[in-house]
Structure 1
Amino acid sequence: MSGLLITGASGFLGSALMAAAGPGAVGLTSATDVRDLAALSVAFADAAPAVVIHTAYRQHGPEAAAINADGAGNVARAAQAVGARLVHLSSDVVFPGDGDRALREDDPVRPVTEYGATKAAAERLVLAADPGALLVRTSLIVGGPGHAPSPHERLALAAARGEQDVQFFTDEIRSAIQVDDLARALLALAETDARGVVHLGGPDAVSRLQLAELVVVAAGLDPAALRSRPAPPDRPRHCPLDSRRALALLAPDRHPRGVRAVFAS
Structure 2
Amino acid sequence: MHWVVTGAHGMLGRDVVQRVALAGEGVVALAREDLDVTDPEAAHRLLVGAEVVVSCAAYTAVDAAETDEPAAFTVNAVGAANVARAAAAVGARMVHVSTDYVFDGAAAEPYDEEAPVAPRSAYGRTKAAGEWAVRAAHPGHMVVRTAWLYGAGGPCFPKTIARVAAERGGLDVVDDQVGQPTWTRDLADLVVRLVEADAPGGTYHGTSSGRTSWHGFARAVVGSAGLDPAIVAPTTSEAFVRPAPRPAFSVLGHAALERIGVAPIGAWDERWAAAADEVLGQRPSASSPSR
Rounded to whole Å, the distance in 1 between the matches of 2:46 and 2:170 is: 42
Are 1:116 and 2:130 matched, yes or no?
no
Work out whether 1:129 is the aligned partner of 2:137: yes
User: 2:218 pairs with 202, 206, 212, which one?
Assistant: 212
Q: Structure 1: how far apart are the matches of 2:46 and 2:268?
A: 36
Indicate the residue corresponding to 2:19 in structure 1.
Answer: 20
Alpha carbons 2:147, 2:207 under 8 Å: kept: yes
**What letter is aligned with 1:116?**
G
206-215 or 100-109, larger mean C-alpha shift: 206-215
Deviation at 1:128, TM superposition (A): 1.2
In 1, Cα distance between equivalents of 2:9 and 2:267:
25
Deviations 1:149-195 (A, max 9, x none): 65111221232123699753212111222221111110111232411
**Secondary structure in 2 aligned to 1:161?**
helix
SS of residue in 1 equivalent to 2:47 = helix
Moved over 6 A (4+): 163-166
TM-score (norm 1): 0.89
Q: Between 56-65 and 17-26, report the one with greater CA deviation.
A: 56-65
Q: Compute the displacement of 1:88 (Å).
A: 0.5
Q: Distance in 2 between matches of 1:79 and 1:95?
A: 27
Secondary structure of 1:25's aligned partner? strand
The letter for the 2-side match of 1:26 is V
- How many residues in Structure 1 have an aligned counterpart in Structure 2? 257
Tell me the SS of whatever aligns to 2:144.
Answer: strand
Q: TM-score, normalised by structure 2?
A: 0.81
- CA shift at 1:264, angstroms? 3.0
Write the distance in 2 (CA, Å) between the matches of 1:94 and 1:148: 25
Matched, 1:8 2:17: no
CA distance in 2, matches of 1:41, 1:11: 21
- Classify 1:237/1:6 alpha carbon distance in 2 versus 1 (closer, same or farther; 3 Å): same
Alignment-derived partner of residue 289 in structure 2? none
Q: Is the CA contact 1:177–1:258 (under 8 Å) kept in the aligned structure 2?
A: no
Q: How far apart, CA to CA, are the structure 1 residues paired with 2:203 and 2:92?
A: 18
Letter in 2 for 1:41: H
**2:3, 2:96 → 1: CA distance?**
13
Match of 1:260 among 260, 269, 284: 269
Distance 2:204 2:217 in 1: 23
Match of 1:55 in 2: 56
Stretches of structure 2 that go unaligned for 5 or more consecutive residues are: 275-291
User: By how many angstroms is 1:124 displaced?
Assistant: 0.9
Q: Cα 1:213–1:261, aligned 2, differ >3 Å: closer, same or farther?
A: same
Structure 2 residue 46 is matched with structure 1 residue 43: yes
Pick the aligned partner of 1:94 from 102, 109, 113.
102
Distance 2:27 2:133 in 1: 25
SS in 2 for 1:30: coil
State the superposition RMSD in angstroms: 2.2
Within the alignment, does 1:235 sit opposite 2:242 as a pair? no
Post-superposition offset of 1:217:
0.9
Shift of 1:221: 2.2
SS in 1 for 2:167: coil
Preserved CA contact (<8 Å) 1:189 1:249: no
Please state whether the residue corresponding to 1:26 is helix, strand or coil: strand
Q: Which residue of 2 aligns with 1:154?
A: 159
Q: Which residue of 2 aligns with 1:33?
A: 36
Q: CA distance change for structure 1 residues 3 and 164 in 2, over 3 Å: closer, same or farther?
A: farther
